[in-house]
Structure 1
Amino acid sequence: MTLSPAEPISASQPVFTTERLTVRAWTVEDAPTLLDVYGRWEVARWLGATPRALESLDEARQLARGWAERSHPDDTYGIWSIVLTDSSTPVGTVLLVPIPGAVGGEVEVGWHLHPDHWGHGYATEAARAAIARGLAAGLEEVLAVVSPDNAASLAVCRRLGLHPRGRSDAYYGRSLEVFATRPHVGGR
């Protein structure tokens, strides 16, 4: 399925759920939330080869469309909204995607949350479920690549039980700490 820029993306069924969270596709209707999350330097500074905060609602809409295209109809990979089940409040993103430009086809799990929702365990809970989804789909390994200065994400990797591999310059054109699921353990 390909979505044209003018085609609206409506709310979708959950991709997966956890005890407290519903993970679903981002939608164009979520653009204000995307702008609120990714328009903040404290979130954006950790992302990609050249970090940049979103600057407009139009950029956020475009991002929602792109992520929806990338996530549908794939049964394994996606960039999804983390929603608090009790309140239907989107709090951030969890992703399970092939790492762009990776030579070996490595797959990464990642998480980006609004600062108001840091420290509640949502990143760990969503990432654990995303890893389980990938392993159940047949992935042999899932990586997390994290800035060495991002203490909060390094702590999430430890809570997930990911095995540290050390620093690498192989991803996103930056020196990043690499973590992996342990073979036959599923990252827990």
Structure 2
Amino acid sequence: MFRTERLTARLWEDGDEQRAYDIYSRWEVMRWLGARPRALESPTEVPALIARWRERSADPRYGVWALERHDSGEVVGSVLLVPLPDGDGRTEEGRVEVGWHLHPDSWGHGFATEAARGALAKGFAEGLTGIHAVVRPDNGPSAAVCRRLGMAPLGRTDRWYGVEMEAFLATRP
């Protein structure tokens, strides 16, 4: 977990369930995520989702963290720093992904860039030398975040998640 100027990246908690559902039940958020995007259909799906995120956060180097605003305490979305799975769901040693998922009411405020910058700094402080981002080709806003972060474009690939994505790479300064 980590802090930035305006955000705290922390574990998702049971008290975050309503906001998690509000974020992950929206097609405008979910359409960009995973090999087979699917919006949550019921609040009853949220506890299992939070449990999976907590499992992915068991190794303190990695995680899927809630992004909480310092000024209001509101959760604006998630930032992740996790091993990157290949098309079969297996992870390659040393391949790590940074990503962000924000509620639409938090788009356009620089939170994605700020949170991703913090996740990159955490990863590099943990000894990583390169961190990837993978973005669906028509997701211009996320590609713009990658460019603002100074990530190098690697072109399109279907190596990860089994679908064609734009790949980017940040290297340790």
Q: Structure 1 or 2: larger strand share?
A: 2
Provide the TM-score with structure 1 as the length reference. 0.87
For the pair 1:86 / 2:75, whether they are aligned, the reply is no
| 1:115 paired residue number | 104
Structure 2: runs of 5 or more not aligned: none
Pairing 1:21-36 to 2, within 5 Å after superposition: 21-36=7-22
Bigger Rg, which one: 1
Higher relative CO (Cα under 8 Å, sequence separation at least 6) belongs to 2
**Amino acid across the alignment from 1:47:** L
Query: How high is the TM-score relative to the length of structure 2?
Result: 0.94
Contact residue 95 and residue 111 of structure 1 kept, 8 A: yes
Matched ranges for 1:29-178 at <5 A? 29-72=15-58, 74-100=59-85, 101-103=90-92, 105-178=94-167
Structure 1's consecutive aligned runs of 4 or more residues displaced over 6 angstroms after TM superposition are none
CA distance in 2, matches of 1:160, 1:102: 24
1:69 deviation in Å? 2.3
| RMSD of equivalent CA atoms | 1.1
C-alpha contact (below 8 Å) 1:26/1:81 kept by paired residues: yes
Count of residues paired in the alignment: 169
Structure 1 unmatched runs, 5+: 1-14
Deviations 1:57-80 (A, max 9, x none): 1111111112112213x2210000
SS of 1:166 mapped into structure 2? strand
Structure 1 counterpart of 2:110, which letter?
G
